[in-house]
Amino acid sequence: MAQGILDTNHLHHIALNTLPFSGLDSREKETFFSGGNLYSYKKKDVIFRQGDPLEYFYIVTDGIVQEFTRTNNGHEITQDIHMNGAILCKAELFLQEGIHHTEAVAVSDVYVMELPVKPFRERLLKSPAAAQAFLHLLAQHSFAKQTEIEQKVTMDTAEIVASFLRQLCKEHGLNPRGFTLPYKKSLIASRLGIELETFSRTLPKLKKHGVTVKGTQVIFHDPASTAANVPTSAPEKRPIQERPSAVIIPWRRVA
Q: What is the DSSP letter of 1?
A: -
Residue 81: CB minimum distance to DNA, A: 13
The residues near 43 (Cβ < 8 Å, ≥ 6 apart) are 106, 107, 108, 109, 110
203 binds DNA (CB under 7 A): yes
Alpha carbons 165 and 180: distance in angstroms, whole number: 11
97 binds DNA (CB under 7 A): no
Q: Count interface residues toward a copy of itself (CB under 8 A).
A: 80
Q: Which of a copy of itself, DNA, none interacts with 236 (beta carbon under 5 to 8 A by kind)?
A: a copy of itself
User: Among residues 17, 22, 55, 94, which is the contact residue for a copy of itself, using CB under 8 A?
Assistant: 94
Q: How many other CB atoms are found less than 10 A from the CB of residue 34?
A: 11
215 binds DNA (CB under 7 A): yes
Residue 51 exposed, middle or buried by CB count within 10 Å (0-12, 13-18, 19+): exposed
Contact between 51 and 100 under an 8 Å Cβ cutoff? The reply is yes
Q: Which of residues 174-193 bind DNA (CB under 7 A)?
A: 184-186, 193
Return the number of the residue (53 or 204) whose C-beta is nearest DNA. 204
Q: Which of residues 101-130 bind a copy of itself (CB under 8 A)?
A: 101, 111, 125-126, 128
233 binds a copy of itself (CB under 8 A): yes
Write out the DSSP string of 29-89. Answer: HHHHHTT-EEEEE-TT-EEE-TT-B--EEEEEEES-EEEEEE-TTS-EEEEEEE-TT-EE-
User: Among residues 127, 157, 167, 212, which is the contact residue for DNA, using CB under 7 A?
Assistant: 157
Binding mask 53-82 for a copy of itself (x = CB under 8 A): ----------------xxxxx-x-x-x---
Q: Which of DNA, a copy of itself, none interacts with 94 (beta carbon under 5 to 8 A by kind)?
A: a copy of itself
Residue 190 exposed, middle or buried by CB count within 10 Å (0-12, 13-18, 19+): buried
198 binds DNA (CB under 7 A): yes
Instruction: List residues near DNA by CB under 7 A.
Output: 156-158, 184-186, 193-204, 215-216
